[in-house]
């Protein structure tokens, strides 16, 4: 199997500094190159770039029902180790994060069982962080 390569995702934000603080201080993503208009982050091994767009108007996301929850679409995030997911969920709770979907176990006892949580960044971009105790379940049918 080929080694997984990092993805690159660029998203618009109105308030660059507020989002910079969120990704750097709350999610603890290492900051990379930047200008007055954009910032690169090491988003758990992937490249996330936030671009300031003053006239950007985030649209309300739509949802899709998944295992009893209304999952926001679009969303992005990463699969963490079980321990890292637990640590992040506790940190987010400690800073009073408003969750779209509280940290929980989805598909309990079924193929693809996973820990998951959804929340928004300061610009209402939906993020999902998940973990599997058994990584062979990530793409299981």
What pLDDT shows up at residue 61? 73
Domain boundaries, the chain: 8-52, 62-137
Give pLDDT tens digits for 36-82: 999 999 999 999 999 999 888 777 679 999 988 999 999 999 999 99
- Cis, bond preceding 74 (omega within 30 deg of 0): yes
Report field, pTM of the whole predicted structure over 0.85: yes
CATH annotation of 8-52: 3.10.180.10
- Say if domain 62-137 classifies as CATH 3.10.180.10: yes
* Contact (Cβ atoms closer than 8 angstroms) between residue 129 and residue 116: yes
Alpha carbon distance, N-terminus to C-terminus of the chain: 19
62-137 and 8-52 share a CATH fold:
yes
């Amino acid at each position: 199997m080929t080694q997984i390569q990092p993805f690159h995702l660029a998203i618009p934000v109105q308030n660059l500094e507020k989002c910079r603080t969120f990704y750097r201080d709350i999610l603890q993503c290492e900051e990379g190159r930047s200008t007055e208009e954009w910032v690169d982050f090491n988003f758990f091994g992937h490249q996330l770039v936030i671009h300031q767009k003053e006239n950007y108007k985030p649209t309300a996301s739509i949802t899709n029902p998944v295992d009893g929850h209304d999952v926001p679409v679009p969303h992005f995030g990463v699969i963490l180790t079980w321990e890292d997911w637990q640590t992040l969920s506790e940190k987010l709770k400690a800073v009073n994060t408003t969750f779209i979907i509280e940290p929980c176990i989805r598909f309990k006892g079924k193929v693809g069982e996973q820990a998951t949580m959804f929340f928004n960044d300061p610009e209402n971009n939906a993020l999902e962080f998940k973990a599997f105790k058994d990584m062979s379940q990530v793409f299981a049918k």
